[in-house]
Structure 1
Amino acid sequence: MAAVPMGLVSFVLIVGICSMFSAGFALVVGIAWLLSGLMVFHRPAEDAIARYALRMRRPTSDEAARLEPVWTEVTRRGGVRGGHYELWIQERDELNANAAAGHIVGVTTQAMQQLPNSQLAAVLSHELGHHVSGHTWTRMLAHWYALPARTAWGLTRAGLSRLFRGGNVACGGCLALVLGSIALTVLARAWWFVIPLAAAPLLLAMLSRRAELSADAYAASLGFAPQLVEVLAQREAAAASGGAAAPAAWGSLPTGQWASPQARTQPKAQHRGLAGLFDMHPDYHTRLHRLRPFIG
C-alpha cells in the first residue's frame, strides 16, 4: 500500500502524456501499463531482469556443483522445493546474495570464494526468507510502478541542475517557480494525496528494513543463526574498517558442516511496540542484536 501513491502518479503521467494524442490511445496505454506488472511473474522476464538489469549470469558447472548441495540443505530445512528457484552468480567483490525477480537467488563471486558451506547456507537461507515471505514480488512491483514517476522527477532535477550550472539562472529560477507554484496548488487542493505521496519513501524504506529483519529471523528459524551472525559480524567489521571483508577465521564451522537443528527455536525475547514498528536502520549491529536470542 505504501507504493500506491507513487504508482498513481506514474499512471497519471503516462495517461496525461498519451492523452495529448487521443483519449482512446491514453486509455489503451494506461490499461496496458497497469497489466504490464504481470510480467514480473513471467519466467523469461525474470531471466532478462537478472541478466541485463542486475548483471547476473548462470553458474558454471563447478559453481553449480558447489551451490547445489548447499541449496538442497537450505530448502530441505525450509520445506520448500529447491527446483522452484534458480541460483545465479553476480560478479561482485562483496560477501552477499540477492533475492532477485520472483524465483532467482543471486550469489556474489566473493561469497562463493570465501564463505564455507555453512555460512554460504546461512546467506542463502536469508534470501530464501525473502522469497517465501513474498518480499521479492512486492519489491519488484513497487519499483516497476514507481519507475515513470521517479524517471520524471529525475529528469526534472537534472534539467534544473543543468540550467543553474550552465549559468541560466533566470530560466532555472522561472522553471523552479512554475514547478513550485504547481506543487503548492496541488498541495492546497489535494493534500489528502500529497501527504501519503511524501510519506511513501519513508514507509517503503521502513518496510524494506523490516523485511531484512524478517528474512534474518527466517534463516535463524532454519538453524543458521550462528553462521549468519558470523557473516554479519565479518561484514560489520569490514564496514567499520572501510576495507574489504577478509576471509579470516570467524569462529566458523568447517566447510560442509551444518548447524545443529536445535537452533530452530523461537527467540527468547522479541522487541515489539513502536520501537520495532519504526526500526528504520537494521544495520549490522541491529541485525546482530536481533539474532542473539536465537543462539542464547
Structure 2
Amino acid sequence: MTTTPNPPDSTDPHPAAGPTPPQYPQQPPAYPTGPTQPPAPPAYPAQYAPPAYPSPTPQTPPPAQHAAPPVPPQPQPAIPPKPITPAPLHAHHISTDQRRVYLKAHQRHADATALGSLLIYLPHFLSSLVVVSLVSLLVLGDLAFLGIVGWLLTGLLIFHRPTESTLARRLLGLRHPTREEFSRLAPVWQEVTARAGVDAQNYELWIEENDTDLNAVAAAGHIVGVTTFALNRLPNGELAAVLAHELGHHVGGHAWASLLGYWYALPARLAYRVIRFLAVVTLRVAAVFSLLGFLVIAFFLGIVAFGTITTLYGLPLLILAAPYALAAVGRRAELRADQHAAALGFAPMLASVLHQMHGADQAAKQQAALAARAAGTRLPKESAMAKLLATHPDHHTRLHHLQPWLQPQPPR
C-alpha cells in the first residue's frame, strides 16, 4: 500500500527538509452505547421523609438537604404523679389476707352449758317418751317399738344438711347470700375460722333480711346466719366479732344441744297443750250447767294431775320450772360465746357491737316512752319474772365479763 505525501507549503522556508508526520485527533472518537448497558436509575428525592404518624408531641419539620444535623431534644424530667392518699381504715378493720390454717383435731365439743341444757330437757324427754309410747301402742299395737325407735332416730335430722336448709328457710326465715353478700361475708368468715382452727366448710352462711336489727343466729349443726343490717353497716372487724360469737355457740355445742332438747320435748309439749285445752273446755261447760258440776270436774282433774305427778316422780313439776332453768343456761351460753370471740382477738370489736346494741335498745325505749306519753299512758316496768325468763344477759353484764380481754396485758 502507498501513501501520498502532503503537498509542500509555499511559505515553508525549508522546503527540502522532508515530509511531516500525519496529525491525529486529540479526543478519542465517540463510540455508540450498546444495548447491554443498564438504563440509568430513576431519580429519587434527595432525602426520604417517613409518613407522619399521630404523636402526642408536635413533630419538627425534616431538615433541608446538606443542613447541619438537628440537636436531639433533651429529655424532660418526669413529673411524679401526685400520690393518692387512701381512705383511712376503720379502727376495727382487720386483715383478711389468706394464710396457712392449722385445724384443730377436735372441731367442736359439748361444754358445761350444753350438757346442762340437755340435763334440763331430760324431764321433757322422758315425758315425750311416755306420750310417744302410748300413741304407738294405740296406733301400731304390737309394733309399738318401731314408732319409739323411729322417733328416737329423728333426732339425727338436726345434723342432716337438707333438713337444716328447710329449718333455716321455714322456721328461721333465712336465705342464701347473694354473690355480692358472699364476697363480703366469706373472707371475714375465713379469718374467724382460721383463728379458731376450725374448717370453714363445715358451716353454711345464711342471711336474714333485716335492715333494722344488729343480730346473728347459730342453729342446728351447721347454720350461721347474720342480718343484712350487720352485714352492710358493720366494719369487717365487728362483723368478725359477731360471727366469732356465733361460732362459739357451735364449737361449745350450744346450738345442737338446745335444738335437740327442744325436738325431743315437742311431743310432751303438744300433749300438755291438748290436755290443758280439754281441761279448760270441760270446766267452762261444767260451769255453764251448775257450780256443783264445775267443782266436781275440777276435783277430778286435780286427782288426775296429782296421780300423774306422783307416778312420774315429780317430772311435771320439773317441766314447769324448766323454762327458768333453760333461760339461766342460755344466758351463761351467751357469756361463753362472748369469751370465745374475745379469746380469738375480737374483744374490742365485740365491745363496740354491744355498745351499739345498747344504744339501739335505749333509743327504742325512748321512742316507746314518747309514744306512751303522747297516748296518755305509761310503759309497764320490766318484771322480775321477765328478767328470769330472759335468754340473753343485759349489755352491762356482757361488757363486765369482757373486761379481762379489754385491759392491756403485761409483757411476758
Q: Deviations over 1:88-126 (max 9, x none)?
A: 011233101101221110011111122111111110000
| 2:396 paired residue number | 285
Judge conservation of contact 2:283–2:298 (CA < 8 Å) in 1. no
Match of 2:385 in 1: none
Report the CA distance shift for 1:47/1:22 in structure 2 as closer, same or farther (over 3 A).
closer
1:235-272 per-position Cα deviation (integer Å, ceiling 9, x unaligned): 1222233269xxxxxxxxxxxxxxxxxxxxxxxxxxxx
Provide closer, same or farther for how the CA distance between residues 90 and 26 of structure 1 changes in structure 2, counting only shifts above 3 A. same
Q: Secondary structure at the match of 1:88?
A: strand
Q: Quote the residue 2:192 is aligned against.
A: 74
Query: Which of the pair has the greater relative contact order for Cα pairs under 8 Å at 6+ separation?
Result: 1
Structure 2 counterpart of 1:13, which letter? Answer: V
Distance in 2 of aligned mates of 1:233 and 1:155? 44
Counterpart AA for 1:292: Q
Q: Is the 8 A contact 1:70 1:117 kept in 2?
A: yes
Identity %: 47
What secondary structure does 1:89 align onto? strand
Farther off after superposition, 47-56 or 234-243: 234-243
Aligned with residue 271 of structure 2, among 142, 147, 152:
152
Deviations 1:148-194 (A, max 9, x none): 11222234445556677899656887665444322212233443544
Answer yes or no: is 1:85 the counterpart of 2:203: yes
Q: May I ask how many residue pairs the two structures share in their alignment?
A: 263
1:2 aligned partner = 120
Query: Partners in 1 of 2:297 and 2:172 — Cα distance?
Result: 35
1:95 matched residue in structure 2: 214
1:252 match:
none
Contact 2:286/2:297 (<8 A) preserved: no
Give the 3 Å change call, closer, same or farther, for CA 59–19 of structure 1 in structure 2.
same
Which segment is superposed worse, 161-170 or 2-11?
161-170
Contact 1:13 1:149 in 2 (8 A): yes
Q: 1:211 to 1:48 in 2, by over 3 A?
A: same
Q: Which residue of 2 aligns with 1:38?
A: 156
Question: Equivalents in 1 of 2:288, 2:394: separation in Å?
Answer: 41
SS in 2 for 1:95: coil
Comparing both structures, which one devotes a greater share of its residues to helix?
1
Letter in 2 for 1:84: N
TM-score, with normalisation over the residues of structure 1?
A: 0.79
Task: Please give the alpha-carbon distance, in whole angstroms, between the structure 2 residues aligned to 1:206 and 1:150.
Answer: 20
In the alignment, the residues of structure 2 paired with residue 98 and residue 34 of structure 1 have an alpha-carbon distance, to the nearest angstrom, of 26
Query: Which of the numbers 239, 255, 260 marks the counterpart of 2:361?
Result: 239
Distance of aligned partners of 1:181 and 1:241 in 2 relative to their CA distance in 1, 3 Å threshold: farther
Aligned-residue CA RMSD (Å): 2.8
- 1:122 matched to 2:269? The reply is no
- Is residue 163–residue 169 contact of structure 1 (8 Å, CA) maintained in 2? no
Q: 1:177 to 1:209 in 2, by over 3 A?
A: farther
Note if contact 2:204-2:223 (Cα within 8 Å) is conserved in structure 1: yes
Q: Larger radius of gyration, structure 1 or 2?
A: 2
Distance 1:9 1:188, change over 3 A: closer
Equivalence for 2:174: 56
The question of 1:187 aligning with 2:309 is answered yes
Task: Please give the alpha-carbon distance, in whole angstroms, between the structure 2 residues aligned to 1:169 and 1:240.
Answer: 49
User: SS state of the match for residue 243, structure 2?
Assistant: helix
Consecutive unaligned residues in structure 2, runs of 5 or more: 1-118, 367-389, 408-412
1:108 aligns with 2:227: yes
CA contact (8 A) 1:160 1:172 kept: no
SS state of the match for residue 138, structure 2?
Answer: coil
Kindly indicate whether the alpha-carbon contact (under 8 Å) linking 2:330 and 2:392 is maintained by their aligned counterparts in 1.
no
Q: TM-score, normalised by structure 2?
A: 0.58
Cα shift at 1:7: 0.8
Partner residue in 2 for 1:208: 330
